[in-house]
Amino acid sequence: MNKIKLSIATISILFLSNSASAIELTDYKVIEGTYSDAYLNGSLNINDDSDKDQTSYNAVVKADLESVYTTAPYTLNYYIHGQGSTVRGSEDNASRESQYSATAYIKGNRYIHDDDTYYFYGDTKLGYQKLSTTSSASDPYVEVGAGVGYGRMYIATPLASAMRIAEDLKEYKIVRPAISDKALMELAKVIGLEDEYVSKYGSNEYRQYWYSDMEKVLKENNALVNDSLSATGVVRLNEVLSTNDARGVLSRLHGWTVQAGVGQVLSDYNGDSGDTTVNAEFDYALPIGYTSQFRETLATGKVLDNSSAFDYKIKNDVSYTYELSDKIDWINTWDLQYLKANNSGDDVTANALGTTFRYYLANQLTFDTTLTLSNVDGTNLGLKETKGWNTALTSSISYRLK
């Protein structure tokens, strides 16, 4: 009995020690890093019912670009979204209606102590739109802000790539079954330096030097079975890391920031200047394993002018992405917005929920199937109330630009 108890205790200690030493994406806290995603998305719906006067159609094109660049003293984030659509109804002599819009958000942080604590920030929001009900575009939208904050987001995508590489190479018996956390961390640091390799060796030649240094890291940490990657190993590296193949590794972020400041609309879509606002924001990101990513951004703004149409607004965006396989991602979002009316009009609550299955095709193409549910309670500030929940199911093709 004592031997059995001793064996159980030994197994428990080994299990706990192994669990404690298992590397997590949140262990990757390299300040220097960058990532960018860019997609071009298009969808087309055509209806030609026999009881309708004419064929109806709805064509939509979207473009999204997001980039994050971080160093010890600075971080720079920018996001650009563009969308255009053309619609024609099925009624007799219904005309074609087109609209388009573009928004851009740029934010820079300056860390006071070159670490992950206090920072100053400045941001700018730009907008441009043409509605289907107007013959010309609206005036440009310009908003600026500044304030102070605390915390930092870390880009852990290189470690996620290292973990994916280790798993892939194990299947081909190129690396040993057990790879140390130290080896994975050192491999991730080399992966994270891709831009430096491109700058030093050029976009056509850098991979041979990049892969060679990855091989060196694995060899120095006694992770290789035959002391070299071999041709198969190089091919597998390229399969995981190259965005020219079916897919790379989804961006992985972890950390949090909290900030507060003031904002000013210099020009709205009518060409008028807006009210000064006091703003606060909390941003949180957590990768779960290396197959899931959770992100939440909570923002609020209080208008200082009592004559404004609304008193304050709250916006909360939540997303959860899960990699079902190397070829399929499951993307879930929930966007909640609340506008508190000031003097007259309704308080407005708007919800939008979406779930997308993204299948990665060859040559940077993806096929998306998205189910969306949306609801607006209250009418104010251009938002129209819905009678219930609107449901839409769409399929589209996306091309990854970078």
In-domain check, residue 178: yes
Across the 402 residues of the chain, what is the mean pLDDT of every consecutive 10-residue run? 46 39 85 82 75 77 89 92 86 80 94 94 92 75 94 91 90 90 94 87 90 94 89 87 54 93 87 85 92 94 79 93 87 93 81 92 82 86 77 84 72
* 145 and 43 belong to one structural domain: yes
Interhelix angle for 206-220 vs 194-201, to 10°?
130
* 88 and 174 belong to one structural domain: no
Task: Look up residue 330 and give its amino acid.
Answer: W
If DSSP codes are grouped into helix, strand and coil, which group holds residue 93? coil
In-domain check, residue 268: no
Alpha-carbon distance of 321 to 291, in angstroms, equals 8
Residue 183: its pLDDT value, please? 94
Residue 380: its pLDDT value, please? 67
> Domain boundary residue among 99, 124, 154?
154
* 141 and 178 belong to one structural domain: no
* 94 and 106 belong to one structural domain: yes
In 268-362, at which residue ranges do the beta strands (DSSP E only) sit? 276-288, 292-303, 310-323, 328-341, 348-360
Alpha-carbon distance of 368 to 384, in angstroms, equals 28
In-domain check, residue 307: no
Closest CA to 131 of 195, 164, 166, 87: 87
* 117 and 166 belong to one structural domain: no
* 63 and 137 belong to one structural domain: yes
* 77 and 150 belong to one structural domain: yes
Alpha-carbon distance of 291 to 332, in angstroms, equals 14
The structure tokens 């708007």 sit at 350
Alpha-carbon distance of 381 to 374, in angstroms, equals 17
* 107 and 214 belong to one structural domain: no
* 76 and 106 belong to one structural domain: yes
> Domain boundary residue among 193, 209, 241?
241
In-domain check, residue 67: yes
Task: Give the number of domains in the chain.
Answer: 2
Domain that holds residue 161: 157-241
List CB contacts of 38: < 8 A, sequence separation 6 or more: 63, 64, 65, 66, 400, 401, 402
In-domain check, residue 71: yes
Alpha-carbon distance of 78 to 155, in angstroms, equals 15
Residue 14: its pLDDT value, please? 38
Alpha-carbon distance of 320 to 148, in angstroms, equals 28
* 162 and 148 belong to one structural domain: no
* 146 and 56 belong to one structural domain: yes
Q: Is the dihedral of CA 26, 328, 86, 388 positive or negative?
A: negative
Tokens matching residue 30: 């390299």
User: Is the Cβ–Cβ distance between 191 and 166 less than 8 Å?
Assistant: no
* 177 and 150 belong to one structural domain: no
In-domain check, residue 372: no
Tokens matching residue 136: 């010309």
Residue 89: its pLDDT value, please? 77
> Domain boundary residue among 129, 154, 179?
154
In-domain check, residue 105: yes
In-domain check, residue 289: no
User: Is the Cβ–Cβ distance between 237 and 214 less than 8 Å?
Assistant: yes
User: Is the Cβ–Cβ distance between 124 and 105 less than 8 Å?
Assistant: yes
DSSP 154-205: EE-HHHHHHHHHHHHHHHTTSB-S---HHHHHHHHHHHTTHHHHHHHH-TTT
If DSSP codes are grouped into helix, strand and coil, which group holds residue 3? helix
User: Is the Cβ–Cβ distance between 265 and 273 less than 8 Å?
Assistant: yes
